[in-house]
Amino acid sequence: MYVGVDYYPEHWPRERWETDARLMQEAGLNVVRLAEFAWVMMEPEEGRFTFDWLDDALAVLHARGVSAILCTPTAVMPAWCARKYPETLAMQTNGQRIVWGVRKNNCFTSGAYRLLSERITRAMAEHFQHAPNVIGWQTDNEFGHPVCYCDTCRAEFQDWLRARYGTLEELNRAWGLHFWGHYVGTWGEIPLPVANESANPSALLDWQRFYSWLNVRFQRDQVRILREYFPDTFITHNFMGFFSDLNYYDLAEDLDHVSWDNYPVWGAPRVMSDAAAMGDLMRGLKGKNYWIMEETAGPGGWGSFGRNPWPGEIRLVAYQQLAHGADGQIWFRWRTCTAGREQYWHGLLGHDGKPLRRYQEAARTAGEYHALAPHLEGTTVRAEVAFIYDYESIWALRFQPGFAENNYHAALQRYYDAFFRAGINVDFVPPTADFSTYKAIIAPDLHILPDALAERLRAYVEHGGVLLTDCRTGVKDETNLCHARTLPGLLAEVLGIAIEEYESIAGDVGFTLHGRAPLAGQFTAVHYADWITPRGAETLAAFKEWHLPDAPAATRHHFGTGVGYYVGTVVKEPAFYDALIADLRITARVAPAEIALPDGVELSVRKGDGKEILFLLNHTQQEQTVSLPAGLTNLLTGQPANRSITLERFGVAVLRK
């Protein structure tokens, strides 16, 4: 079990390094991440490499039993690079280059930048290939910015489109360029699309695909070099949860495992279901356990800082990710920096470098992790339910949400939170996944619905699967053109409905919904309403408005040997989604949680190698008592568990069957 910190020896006097390494060892921290912003320290002049300081830091850490993950430092170019090769700086939409001096300055199509990046990567890999405590590599840092609008990017975008579409005739068709007379007659006439009210949605979708591909290509160049020198060492990257400017499935493809940066502590304490969902997504990107490469260690912020994690929260945040499949965790950062833009992004140690409360809480957590490691080895989350997580629908909805409040992640979270409250683990999968391994598929806001995906979902339900989808599903094809079909298009038979009209609901208006068993009760529809005509589907909830008398708002339909659910509105009350997911779970024969959960208590289960490990996490500031089944062992005490357990505020329990 690796647990550690992000460490910046270049920020501190060398005489402090030994103290840092000793304190890490005493806290049970056995890994650090190094050098993601240290390019200029390793190549102070073009072609002259100075690794001696990093050699010394690695040696000090190694003497204390601390391993290291090295980073390719290409997220921040040296000043000499920007001065000598100004074309490496990204260009803004106004034609001005970004001014050097922040991070993520670069243009990803710049040949000079790509070559310089490969050179520092190779120099590092060659120099450190025999370092005894280097256990892994991180590529760059938080891919995703900036977007560049230079002439090189435009030329490469045109080449990318030529490879994708083959002919201008096909491009004109796919982008619908007959509209407004926007036909292009040569590849050189294609501009770089800029998102605004009048931009072509199909062009914007391809531009987003292209930009994502540029990042994937840039990383792939580095991974190829690293594997030459480190064939048996893991390579990862620090993703950013629900950040969606890139297709993370593609970015994860070349990596051994995914890592991500988890910062859920900002406002008042809350139930961190969104952080749980992001952990599940990270696990789903490669269908395997992941790492946390940066995690809340103190108040975060640049110009101003947020709330300090209260006693127990650093441990709770860490345990939540362990429960969802994190096999390695690293706090950001070790010591709060005294210089630069992140002076207020606090670490386990403050500016004074003293090992106080946050350090002690991390030490407690690390010690527990090492004791738990043998029990967790070979385990992961094994879910019976999967969410389709689709980057292309996210992108298309960003350009054209349809109704103003339509937000992909908010839609997803409504259903996810109901599973979370019920104590049922879920997976996140791409639209290309094998659905047959799951009892139920949840597909919120599946806006982009190619025919091939619709046919696969149809076959899934026809052969016994349970599908739940909702408003604005199946509106667009893969080129972001509207399907010339009555909604929900090729899923109409599966769902047993037709949607001939629809409307936005004004922000200060709510429509009344009456639920029928199993959704009995009165609810409030907000933001959007499909005008649904049943074509065999059973109504689970209906509108009670004069213009929609008893019109279905939520339906259930048997198709083949499976069932399709549809929700044609946004419901204000979480109780609606709880009842809906409870019914879906019964229909799909998804096993219920073995433990009844008080409000604010989370359950997650890891299984494997004949083991079943249950995590209980109290997100509230009150003690919570949870009834337990017989036959459990409390792994944090080593004792058989009683038939109930009391969790302190922000407390956790780890139980083994």
Residue whose token pair is 């850490």: 61
Q: Indicate the SS3 state at residue 259.
A: strand
Peptide bond into 333 cis (omega under 30): yes
DSSP string, 85-113: -GGGBPBPTTSPBPPSSSS--B-TT-HHH
Q: Using an 8 Å Cβ cutoff, are 76 and 105 in contact?
A: yes
Amino acid 546 reads W
Q: What is the dihedral of CA 479, 480, 482, 483, to 10 degrees?
A: 40
User: 147 is written with which tokens?
Assistant: 């977007």
User: 106 is written with which tokens?
Assistant: 């670069």
Residue whose token pair is 């190829």: 224
Give the E-state strand segments of 435-546 in sequence order. Answer: 440-443, 466-470, 497-504, 511-515, 521-534, 538-545
Nearest-5° Cα angle at 406, 412 to 285: 35
In Å, how far from its chain's centre is CA 246? 11
Question: Which residues, 6 or more positions from 590, have their beta carbon under 8 angstroms from its beta carbon?
Answer: 384, 385, 424, 439, 440, 584
Question: Which residues, 6 or more positions from 506, have their beta carbon under 8 angstroms from its beta carbon?
Answer: none
Cα-only R_g, the chain: 26
Q: Using an 8 Å Cβ cutoff, are 541 and 513 in contact?
A: yes
Task: Look at strands 290-295 and 259-262 and give their pairing.
Answer: parallel
Which residues are known catalytic residues? 142, 294
Can you tell me the distance from the alpha carbon of 319 to that of 317, in angstroms, rounded to the nearest whole number?
A: 6
Task: Determine which helix (DSSP H) or strand (DSSP E) holds 19, and give its type and residue range.
Answer: helix 14-26
Give the E-state strand segments of 336-439 in sequence order. Answer: 385-388, 427-429
Helix axes 14-26, 52-63, angle to 10 degrees: 30
Output the CA–CA distances (angstroms, integers) from residue 45 to 54, 116, 204, in the order listed: 17, 12, 39
DSSP string, 345-370: S--SB-TT----HHHHHHHHHHHHHH
